[in-house]
């Protein structure tokens, strides 16, 4: 019997690689069982590590400004492939986890550090950058990234604008003469882990800015800024799915550079060996921190579930928690297990105990599935 494991991260608790490895080890003593592990990501935290696992190259690290410039620099890493492809996460230099709760303020946050990682990769010879956009602290529509890449932003009085969310609505002129040749020659693949547009009720300001620390007035001002950006780059960008990712990063980047915007999970599945792994599989086990309606709207496990359905392979889900009104049977699942449901937060988020609970759940699912096949 062949089983494929495809776990995404349990955010704040366990990485994709930790979960896949632990469950593979937990099933290693089962007689006649072939287990293949395929780590999963959707463009958010952990995407670089998942993609790098199937690439030849080296990790690069450097000190760059974090999302809040007033804080000390952060040591951020990215992966530079031998083929010239660099894989970078916004979360590495501009992630929400890098800022203490009491200092989170997307009005002041900047993606400058992420841009400096990209600039470093290009100076090392990269001409293709894959950017995972999940987990950002920012709402600057890529102003920071672009400043690091040679772009300058001015207000109506000709004054330089610092790249942050508060200044989006002040942009009057964008100067691109300083963009170096290596940036112009680079192709950017932007991986979105959400399908939200730039503006409107489902836009980045209304949906994500409050999660990053914005108060209602800041949300209103950020929405004005995003709408102003849409006017600058062409208003169709305001409603394009995915342009609201990472505080609107795709909007200005797609306007000024050679960019392709893609859904993160399908891209990762195309590059992490999943298509080969599921050939002749009898069962697929996937999972993430929370199973809910969002799972089936472009998240990694949702894409795995859809792939399993298309191939006629039974699929089970192990997650931390299951949304109360999520119906596993309606989603076509063999079973769904929430290993942390009802537990105190500290225990639910503990990495060691989470991995152990997931491993035990996988053993039980496999045992029951084997019995059902006899």
For the chain, the first-to-last Cα distance in angstroms comes to: 12
Looking at the structure, tell me whether residues 113 and 214 fall in a common domain: yes
* Whether 108 and 143 share a structural domain: yes
Say if residue 217 is in the same domain as residue 104: yes
pLDDT at 359: 96
Co-location of 54 and 176 in the same domain: yes
Exposure class string for 321-335: b at 16+ Cβ within 10 A, else e: bbeeebeeeebebbb
Please check whether residues 85 and 210 belong to one and the same domain: yes
Q: Averaged over 157-174, what is the pLDDT?
A: 97
Same domain, 149 and 71: yes
**What percentage of the chain reaches a pLDDT higher than 70?**
100
- Let me know: does 114 contact 94? Beta carbons within 8 Å: yes
User: Is there a single domain that holds both residue 106 and residue 226?
Assistant: yes
Write down the pLDDT at residue 11: 86
Q: What is the CATH number of the domain that holds 315?
A: 3.40.50.10350
Give a yes or no: residue 335 inside a domain.
no
Residue 315 lies in a domain: yes
Triad 305, 310, 315: Cα angle to 5°: 35
Task: Identify whether residues 215 and 236 lie together within a single domain.
Answer: yes
User: Do 143 and 169 fall within a single domain?
Assistant: yes
Residue 304 maps to a domain: yes
- CA–CA dist 342, 317 (Å, integer): 18
User: What does the block give as tokens for 64?
Assistant: 């760059």
Q: Does residue 218 sit within a domain?
A: yes
For 217-241, how does the pLDDT look when each residue is reduced to its tens digit (9 = 90+)?
Answer: 999 999 999 999 999 888 788 889 9
**The pLDDT of residue 318 is above 80:** yes
Per the prediction, the chain carries an average pLDDT of 94
- pTM, 2 dp: 0.91
Sequence-ordered alpha helix ranges (H) in the chain: 16-26, 47-52, 90-94, 112-123, 143-148, 181-184, 204-208, 216-233, 249-256, 264-271, 274-277, 300-311, 345-349, 351-372
Judge if 138 and 118 occupy the same domain.
yes
Q: Does the residue 145 lie in any domain?
A: yes
pLDDT at 202: 92
Q: Kindly state whether residues 235 and 311 are assigned to the same domain.
A: no
Structural domain contains residue 272: no
Query: Tokens representing 230?
Result: 């849409």
Using 50, 70 and 90 to split pLDDT, how confident is the model at 295? confident
The reported pLDDT for the residue numbered 320 is: 93
Which of 249, 265, 281 is the endpoint of a domain? 265
Could you tell me the CATH number of the domain that includes residue 159? Answer: 3.90.1510.10
> Tell me, what's the pLDDT at 177?
95
Domain count, the chain: 2
Q: Is residue 350 part of a domain?
A: yes
Q: Note the pLDDT of residue 107.
A: 94
Question: Tokens for 282?
Answer: 């009898």
Do 25 and 68 fall within a single domain? no
Residue 326 lies in a domain: no
Structural domain that includes position 82: 47-265
């Amino acid at each position: 019997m062949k089983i494929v494991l495809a776990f995404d991260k349990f955010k704040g608790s366990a990485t994709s690689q930790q979960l896949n490895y632990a469950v593979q080890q937990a099933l290693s003593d089962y007689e006649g069982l072939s287990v293949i592990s395929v780590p999963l990501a959707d463009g958010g935290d952990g995407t670089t590590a998942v993609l790098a696992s199937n690439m030849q190259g080296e990790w690069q690290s450097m000190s760059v400004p974090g999302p809040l410039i007033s804080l000390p620099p952060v040591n951020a890493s990215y992966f530079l492939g031998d083929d010239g492809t660099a894989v970078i996460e916004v979360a590495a230099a501009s992630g929400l986890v890098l800022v203490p709760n009491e200092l989170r303020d997307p009005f002041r946050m900047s993606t400058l550090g992420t841009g400096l990682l990209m600039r470093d990769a290009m100076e090392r010879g990269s001409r293709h950058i894959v950017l995972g956009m999940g987990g950002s602290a920012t709402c600057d529509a890529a102003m920071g990234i672009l400043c690091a890449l040679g772009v300058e932003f001015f207000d109506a009085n000709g004054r330089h604008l610092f790249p942050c969310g508060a200044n989006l609505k002040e942009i009057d002129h964008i100067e691109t003469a300083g963009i170096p040749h290596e940036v112009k020659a680079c192709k950017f693949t932007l991986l979105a882990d959400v399908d939200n547009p730039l503006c409107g009720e489902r836009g980045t300001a209304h949906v994500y800015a409050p999660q990053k620390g914005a108060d209602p007035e800041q949300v209103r001002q950020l929405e004005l800024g995003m709408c102003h950006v849409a006017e600058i780059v062409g208003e169709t960008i305001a409603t394009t799915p995915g342009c609201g990712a990472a505080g609107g990063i795709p909007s200005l980047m797609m306007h000024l550079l050679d960019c392709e915007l893609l859904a993160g999970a399908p891209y990762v599945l195309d590059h992490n060996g999943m298509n080969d792994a599921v050939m002749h599989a009898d069962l697929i086990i996937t999972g993430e921190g929370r199973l809910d309606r969002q799972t089936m709207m472009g998240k990694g496990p949702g894409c795995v579930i859809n792939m399993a359905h298309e191939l006629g392979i039974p699929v089970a889900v192990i997650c931390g928690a299951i949304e109360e009104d999520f119906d596993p049977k309606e989603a076509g699942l063999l079973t769904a297990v929430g290993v942390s449901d009802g537990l105190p937060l500290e225990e639910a988020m503990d990495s060691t105990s989470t991995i152990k609970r997931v491993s035990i759940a996988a053993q039980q699912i496999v045992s029951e599935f084997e019995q059902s096949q006899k």
